Amino acid sequence: MSVEIIQGLLIPFLGTSLGAACVFFMKEQLNPLVQRGLLGFAAGIMVAASVWSLLIPSMEQAVDSWGDVLSCIPAVTGFWAGILFLLLLDYLIPHQHLNSDESEGMKCKAAKSTMMVLAVVLHNIPEGMAVGVLYASWYNGAADITLGAAIALSVGIAIQNFPEG
């Protein structure tokens, strides 16, 4: 495994860690309006990263095999497979959301803090998969994947993870 891959995988981790470290500087609870704004910002970054760094490159790579008209089929299929996978994980993994007293997923008698950690893990699985797939594609010499594109996705997810942290 190359140094570039390890550094690239650590970039989103750094974004989350720096965001979480902000708790040491807060004297009071975060204003709900600011919290909603930060989460909206994070959602926008994730949508942009998904479209420009994952879906569009996937369709561009499929043109050679599928042609111009059908090049969206692999991306759409992967997109829906990912949605179904996350729905399955949401159903199976016990987790609890912030400001909620009710748990979701399979019934479990775990502590609230454990359930919150499982919610964060569930949320970060697709981000980790996206970064991992892009770096693996670059490492294996995929034609249209550059190190710059992989770093851009890592930085985008790190920026998105900062307010979530």
- 103-123 pLDDT, tens digit per residue, is 888 888 888 788 777 777 877
The per-residue pLDDT of the chain, averaged, comes to 85
Instruction: State the virtual CA torsion across 27, 43, 33, 123 in degrees, nearest 10.
Output: -50
Q: How far apart are CA 78 and CA 72, in angstroms?
A: 10
Residues 64 and 114: their CA atoms lie apart, in Å, by: 46
Separation CA 134–CA 154 (nearest Å): 9
Cβ(158)–Cβ(15) below 8 Å: yes
* Tens digit of each residue's pLDDT (9 = 90 or more) over 115-157: 777 777 877 888 888 888 888 888 988 767 888 888 988 998 8
Predicted pLDDT of residue 76: 92
Judge whether 89 and 102 are in contact, CB under 8 Å. Answer: no
Looking at residue 84, what is its pLDDT? Answer: 94
Q: Using pLDDT thresholds of 50, 70 and 90, give the confidence band for residue 14.
A: very high
The pLDDT-based confidence of 32 (bands split at 50, 70, 90) is: confident
Q: Taking Cα atoms as reference points, which of 127, 122, 2 lies closest to residue 54?
A: 127
- Read off the pLDDT of each residue in 63-80 and give the average, rounded to a whole number: 90
**pLDDT attached to residue 11:** 93
Q: Which residue has the tokens 């990263």?
A: 49
Share of the chain above pLDDT 70, in %: 98
How far CA 11 is from CA of 48, 77, 93, in Å, comes to 18, 28, 26
Q: Say yes or no to pLDDT of 77 above 90.
A: yes
Side chain identity at residue 147, one-letter code: L
Q: What is the pTM of this model?
A: 0.71
